[in-house]
Amino acid sequence: MGKKSYTNGNFSINGETKASTYKKGNTVYTNYNMSDTEKKIFDYAQNSFLNSLPQLNVFSDETKNQFKNQMEAYKNQGIKNIESIYTPMINNLKTDVASRFGNYDNSSFLSELKDIENSRSDAISSFAQDMILKENDLVNDELSRRYNYMNFLSGIQDQTYSNALNFGSASSANSSYGSSSSSSNSLAAFSAIANQALSLLKYFY
């Protein structure tokens, strides 16, 4: 067998070196070369994640006021809807009883009025429960939005790490301890590079 020697390697796309592998002393190094755009995106994701994490489950006064204003609007609309149903019913009952009896001091009016008031009381009670659910929805929607944003930032970082790993692996496969008399080593290296290249296509198509 011939004497073994180390061959440096790199992986390039469209003439741009994405990763390089070299040996220094007894250590082999593989570097992933980020473009300026990639670095800015990666740094933005990391910094945004760091800044957002401490406040993830904390609501600022501004956010609390937004909740309060939305709940106030929801309450006013709910009261308006209830009154739009039951106030005409009471007024119609008064008009009907007054035209038939001349006054409201009779059992028929009081009985029907009681039924209407009971129904309105039930509607108000039901709406109070809706208010609680609405407030919970506002809080959960805000938290969901925040967690989705954090997942988005995490995804950007994970994609960068994945690119570095894949490009680095392709570069490493393109470098080896070769033998001048061994064609199988060259074939294995070529096969590894081809497989790595195929695995990287998913990032571009």
Instruction: Average pLDDT across each block of 10 residues of the chain; the chain has 205 residues. List them in order.
Output: 71 87 89 92 95 94 96 95 91 77 69 88 94 96 96 93 86 65 42 52 45
Q: How many domains does the chain have?
A: 1
Tokens at 157, concatenated = 């970082």
Residue 144, domain member (yes or no): no
Residue 21, domain member (yes or no): yes
Residue 28, domain member (yes or no): yes
Residue 6, domain member (yes or no): yes
Distance CA 78, CA 182 (A): 83
Residue 20, domain member (yes or no): yes
- To which residue do tokens 């009779």 refer? 106
| pLDDT for the residue numbered 105 | 67
Which residues touch 177 (CB under 8 Å, ≥6 apart)? 4, 5, 6, 7
* Structural contact between residues 52 and 146, judged by C-beta atoms closer than 8 angstroms: yes
| pLDDT for the residue numbered 187 | 45
Residue 12, domain member (yes or no): yes
Residue 196, domain member (yes or no): no
Query: Domain of 22?
Result: 1-33
Residue 22, domain member (yes or no): yes
